Amino acid sequence: MVQTQKSVPTLTRADLADELHRTIGLSRAESADLVEQVLDTITEALLDGGNVKLSSFGSFMLRKKGLRVGRNPKTGVEVPIQPRTVLTFRPSQLLRQKLND
């Protein structure tokens, strides 16, 4: 049930930098650098093992998954799936609301 609307272009790093440039008036180079800094700071906090909670946007939560037995769907051969950390995003109530206004 994945919905994509082709008419709306995908937002990228370059668009975010452009937005900083236009709305705050920072240079294009600094804007691009700041987009990177924000993403890197979030990434570093997650790599340190902490959750990241951005009020009115959502939370990035780390979940530890234990070892389980998986199966190669093509061959049916059982393979162990090693314990791992997965990242989930829990959208804020506000973000959920905005999508349905």
Partner 1 sequence: MIRSELVQKIADANPHLGQREAERVVSTILDSITDRLTEGGRVELRGFGAFSTRGRNARTGRNPRTGESVDVDAKRVPHFKPGKELRERLNMD
| Residues found near partner 1 in the complex (CB under 8 A) | 1-5, 7-13, 15-16, 19-20, 23-24, 34-35, 37-39, 41-43, 45-47, 50-58, 60, 62, 84-89, 91, 95-96, 98-101
- Give the residues across from 84 on adjacent strands: 65
71 or 96, CB closer to partner 1?
A: 96
64 or 74, CB closer to partner 1?
A: 64
> How many Å apart are CA 42 and CA 88, to the nearest integer?
13
* Residues counted in the chain: 101
